[in-house]
Amino acid sequence: MEMVRLEGVSKRYDEVMALSVVNLSVEKGEFVTLLGPSGSGKTTLLNIIAGMAAPTAGQVYIDGVNATEIPPKKRNLGMVFQDYALMPHMTIFENIAFPLRVRRVAGREIARKVSEVLGLVQLPDVADRRPRELSGGQQQRVALARCLVYDPSLILMDEPLAALDKKLREQMQLELKRIHTELGITVLYVTHDQQEALTMSDRIVLLDDGRIEQMGEPDHMYFNPNSVFSANFLGDSNMMEAIVERIGAETGVMTSQGHTFQTSRPTVAEVGGTVKLMIRPENIRIVRQNDDEEFENEIDGKVVDSVILGGVIRHHIDVGMDEMFVSQELNRSGRASIHPGTDVVLGWRAEDMYVLPLQGTLEDG
Amino acid sequence: MAAIERAVGPERTASSIFVSAMAWLGYFFLIMPSLIVLPMSFGNKFEMMFPPTSFSTYLFEQFLFEENWMDATVLSFRVAIGSTLLALSLGVPAAYGLVRGNYWGKKLVAMILISPILVPVIVIALGLYLYFTSVGLRGSEFALIVGHAVYTGPFVIVTCMAGMRHIDVNLEVAARIMGAGALQIFWKVTLPLLRPAMLASGLFAFLMSFDEIVISYFLSAIGSMTLPVKMFSSIQWEISPVLAAVSTLLTLLSLVICLIGASFQKKSQDSYRP
């Protein structure tokens, strides 16, 4: 069952094309993240669905109805903002009761629903306080409660956790996910944080420069990026330019600055053409003497730096390419650390090397 | 540990003492007229003398019971309240429209609404005089109220526009998405948050109207004079010491209004943070 459909939606501001021809469909109960860098059009898209901005072209359908001309107050949506947008002059109770009063719900029913929804976000005792007395995380939960109390068909969230510190953000991500799963409500979530997108979404819609670059489930997006942009934005990547030598049924062979590499991934490219090869840092290993793993691809390099990031170590290695390679491995006490300046050999498997077009997406080519 | 023992605060250097002294001198210079008038209001009954040679409250009694001073005062109050209410009820929605609105010609509208500030008050007074005479309303309380509202309106608008800019626009967006209509949003969300600005501009408009002399002089008739106008004609026809008493009372009124304004500022800071 479709909850939101966008057909050919575009938005132009004078000279700038904020969104160009977006086609999107969101199922009931889905948690869809609009992911992208600043200026990618994700907030514009959210505002068009909310009704706060009108599309220059295209149609917006909400819950089966053509909502393109319908004003925001009649669309029965909920929205959560980055700065919470709680009314500072009202108590928490009055803040949450606001949409119910607008709908002329009876006083006793209001009290019941407010208390129910405060229990849902695990803040049962704050009804009489004012927003400024609560912490950021609490205020955001109240903002969420304010959305849930009137049972909207769709909740829009515009970078709601961006103002919170890291630990709290991670906690809230799991909270939001729990509430989403419990209530089965449709959520459209805007963020530039790829980790957030990977944690919470049923599906990710990756936007760049007003266009949908790629969309799919988090797993699929991570293990099957369709472009250099997607590979870089979702997850980390090591890139090098290469020329296609041969494409066989099972393998492809590329050369880059004198090195020959193999991939066992399905490749869409022309022989003789230039492509970008991509390997994720966690798939690049520093070949050690006692390793019995065999790597189809190897390259020599010199260690520049090793950075400990808590549970993982990232080694930055100069391999004679334009960019340094990053190799990531799990951090274990007792593992011999590698000094800067050490010569190493890096290895990775053929199945971990992606072939991506120099420009645009795999679908374009 | 000498660094910890010394109190934290601005240093008392020679230059800072000099600046303070200059400030106090300037302040004294500005309130000196009031300081002269205050003892005179308790002084001689029949001629203005400074320093006064006798003490009595006769002048205040004269103000309260004789020669229509109270009539003028009551009229001033009525006009001040009326023009303040008028300036607020037109100025607040105007400020809302200028800050939140987005329409062709908005800058032009803003300029027109605020233009009375740019024009010398005597020009405004003359314009109002000619207009109200042409419709036969010169000398009426209505003309005074409207005239004062024209004069104080721009100040109300500018103050309320500043207040509007402090109100997070997302509050109104959120209210809209939650289903509230424009009027509901204005009444339940915007106005309560605009209250400090409305109060400040309302008190200021009241004071401006009460003290206003030029427009009032042009628009007053013999039977309906505001207090400043009566004071002015009184001093032209006779040097009456009762003026000292009136001045003291006017100063007291300004003081009371400023204190009210200040106390609301403190209160509003407790209950609302932008």
CATH number, domain containing residue A256: 2.40.50.100
What's the token pair of residue A168?
């709290």
Of A83, A99, A150, which is closest to B168 when you measure between CB atoms?
A83
Q: For residues B109 and B124, what is the distance between their CA atoms, to the nearest angstrom?
A: 19
Q: Which residue of B has its CA nearest to A154?
A: B177
Q: What percent of chain A has pLDDT over 90?
A: 62
Of A214, A231, A248, the residue at which a domain comes to its end is A231
On whether residue B59 sits in a domain, the answer given is no
On whether residue A365 sits in a domain, the answer given is no
Q: For residues B166 and A138, what is the distance between their CA atoms, to the nearest angstrom?
A: 23
Mean pLDDT of B190-197: 93
Q: What is the DSSP letter of B224?
A: B
A214 and A250 co-located in one domain: no
| Predicted local distance difference test score (pLDDT) of residue A254 | 78
**Mutate which of A48, A82, A89, A188 to disrupt the B interface (most B C-beta within 10 Å)?**
A89
Q: In the structure, what pLDDT confidence band is assigned to residue B270 with cuts at 50, 70 and 90?
A: low
A183 and A241 co-located in one domain: no
- pLDDT surpasses 90 at A138: yes
Mean pLDDT of B46-73: 80
Are residues A99 and B171, on separate chains, in Cβ contact within 8 Å? no
A191 and A217 co-located in one domain: yes
Chain A nearest-CA distance from B181, in A, is 7
CATH number, domain containing residue A55: 3.40.50.300
On whether residue B206 sits in a domain, the answer given is yes
| Predicted local distance difference test score (pLDDT) of residue A127 | 92
Are residues A150 and B179, on separate chains, in Cβ contact within 8 Å? yes
Of B175, B188, B273, which is closest to A88 when you measure between CB atoms?
B273
Are residues A83 and B170, on separate chains, in Cβ contact within 8 Å? yes
Q: For residue A60, what are the domain limits?
A: 2-231
On whether residue B264 sits in a domain, the answer given is yes
A214 and A237 co-located in one domain: no
Express each pLDDT in B105-122 by its tens digit: 999 999 999 999 999 999
Of A77, A78, A89, which is closest to B192 when you measure between CB atoms?
A89
Are residues A150 and B168, on separate chains, in Cβ contact within 8 Å? no
Express each pLDDT in B203-244 by its tens digit: 999 999 999 999 999 998 877 899 999 988 888 887 778 888
Express each pLDDT in A76-108 by its tens digit: 999 999 999 999 999 999 999 999 999 999 999
- pLDDT surpasses 60 at A338: yes
Q: For residues B208 and B156, what is the distance between their CA atoms, to the nearest angstrom?
A: 11
Specify the pTM: 0.82
Pairing verdict, β A77-80 and A154-158: parallel
Q: For residues A306 and A339, what is the distance between their CA atoms, to the nearest angstrom?
A: 8
CATH number, domain containing residue B100: 1.10.3720.10
Residues from chain A contacting residue B173 (CB–CB below 8 Å): 52, 79, 81, 85
Are A61 and A4 in contact by the 8 Å Cβ rule? The answer is: yes
Mean pLDDT of A30-41: 93
Burial category of B161 from C-beta neighbours within 10 Å (exposed 0-12, middle 13-18, buried 19 and up): buried
On whether residue A319 sits in a domain, the answer given is yes
| Predicted local distance difference test score (pLDDT) of residue B63 | 81
Is the alpha carbon torsion for A354, A355, A357, A363 positive or negative? negative
Report the mean per-residue pLDDT for chain B.
87
Pairing verdict, β A57-62 and A65-66: antiparallel
Q: In the structure, what pLDDT confidence band is assigned to residue B272 with cuts at 50, 70 and 90?
A: very low
Name the residue among B193, B205, B203 with its Cα closest to residue B165. Answer: B193
Name the residue among A45, A38, A11 with its Cα closest to residue A209. Answer: A38
Q: Which residue of A has its CA nearest to B189?
A: A87
Of B176, B189, B193, which is closest to A73 when you measure between CB atoms?
B176
On whether residue B60 sits in a domain, the answer given is no
What's the token pair of residue A363?
């679908």
Are residues B179 and A132, on separate chains, in Cβ contact within 8 Å? no
Q: For residue B141, what are the domain limits?
A: 69-271
- pLDDT surpasses 70 at B7: no
Q: Based on the structure, what is the number of domains in chain A?
A: 2
Mean pLDDT of A20-33: 93
Are residues A89 and B272, on separate chains, in Cβ contact within 8 Å? yes
- Alpha-carbon torsion, ordered B229, B232, B235, B241, to 10 deg: 70
Are residues B175 and A98, on separate chains, in Cβ contact within 8 Å? yes
Are residues A89 and B181, on separate chains, in Cβ contact within 8 Å? no
Express each pLDDT in A255-290 by its tens digit: 778 888 888 888 878 888 888 999 999 999 888 776
CB-side neighbour CA atoms (13 Å) of B269? 5
Q: Based on the structure, what is the number of domains in chain B?
A: 1
CB-side neighbour CA atoms (13 Å) of B23? 6
A246 and A147 co-located in one domain: no
- pLDDT surpasses 60 at A151: yes
On whether residue A316 sits in a domain, the answer given is yes
List, in order, residues 6 or more apart from A101 with CB less than 8 Å away: A110
Burial category of B27 from C-beta neighbours within 10 Å (exposed 0-12, middle 13-18, buried 19 and up): exposed
On whether residue A178 sits in a domain, the answer given is yes
Residues from chain B contacting residue A76 (CB–CB below 8 Å): 179
Please measure the distance between the N-terminal and C-terminal CA atoms of chain A and give it in whole angstroms: 33
What's the token pair of residue A313?
């170590």
Q: For residues B267 and B274, what is the distance between their CA atoms, to the nearest angstrom?
A: 14
Q: For residues A334 and B261, what is the distance between their CA atoms, to the nearest angstrom?
A: 70
| Predicted local distance difference test score (pLDDT) of residue B246 | 87
Report the mean per-residue pLDDT for chain A.
90
- Asked which of A154-158, A201-205, B122-126, B221-225 is least confident by mean pLDDT, the reply is B221-225
| Check: complex ipTM more than 0.90 | no
Name the residue among B168, B254, B154, B169 with its Cα closest to residue B201. Answer: B154
DSSP string covering B5-63: HSPPS----HHHHHHHHHHHHHHHHHHHHHHHHHHHHTS-SSS--SS-SS--SHHHHHH
Q: How many CB atoms lie within 10 A of CB B259?
A: 10
Of A73, A81, A83, which is closest to B179 when you measure between CB atoms?
A73
Are residues B174 and A81, on separate chains, in Cβ contact within 8 Å? yes
On whether residue B87 sits in a domain, the answer given is yes
On whether residue A362 sits in a domain, the answer given is no
For residue A276, list its beta bridge partners.
A241, A356
A273 and A306 co-located in one domain: yes
